[in-house]
Amino acid sequence: MLNKKDKNKKNTTKSAATRLNKMIASSGLCSRRKADELIESGVVKVNGKTITELGFSVFSKDKITVNGQPLKKQVLTYIKYYKPAGYITTMSDEKGRKTIYDILPEEVKDLKPVGRLDKDSTGLLIMTNDGDFINKMTHPSIKLPKVYRVCAEGKMNQQHLIKLANGIEIEKGKIAYADASIIEYEGRNTVLQIVLYQGMNRQIRKMLDSIGCPVISLKRISHGTINIQGLKKGQFKYIKPKEINDLMKQIAKLEKAANTN
């Protein structure tokens, strides 16, 4: 029988265990899903032993290798970046277009974006080296709200907004939805706030094109609980741990809701 001291020690040991796929993802090497694929393929070793079991637990002192290379214990970094227009959200482009990595400060060029903004769009990009975090933020089952300020051609009305909310087929078999509200009119144009819970390519542009109100300008102002406040175009700020914790709490609630539906 364990005495109280032994029980506490045992509980401490249990709490220190981390799933192998999470440990790999937390290093910034890849997402947790990709880590599962690496484990199943037999290229991951723990203390010299090949592990193919999903759900295998490890401790911080364990030596982990992937394809023979030691897993680096990376310091996880999160930033919010105000993307200017004229740059695509990718590390390189075969067409020779300018990317955000052409203008990002050197100290954050190793970070990856959470989702994308197209070339002509501006606004908030969350960037990190935390692969597990990226996977959670972009998983289709997690309806994390993304808020945009959009200027569209023409004077839109409630009927236009109803069409956006009811869904528009932007590609064959792909129905896109958006919650929109009119902020103001600027001459013959309409300024909108649009909230998305999906992550389709050029979703807002395609939706507004389909109802005859093409986008003039598009800026993302928030993603989950993180917003662009205090940033100018081309600037970035490190996201504080409390802000990440608040965001993870929001994701946990959405995960719970998705699992109960």
* Cα-trace Rg, the chain: 22
Q: Which two tokens stand for residue 253?
A: 């609630």
Cβ 171 vs Cβ 207: under 8 Å: no
Q: Which two tokens stand for residue 173?
A: 């078999």
How many whole angstroms separate alpha carbon 84 and alpha carbon 124?
A: 9
Query: Is 118 marked active-site?
Result: yes
End-to-end CA distance of the chain: 43
How many whole angstroms separate alpha carbon 148 and alpha carbon 161?
A: 15
Catalytic residue among 93, 102, 110, 118: 118
Q: Which distant-in-sequence residues (6+ apart) come within 8 Å of 194 by Cβ?
A: 147, 148, 150, 164, 178, 179, 180, 204
The catalytic residue positions are 118
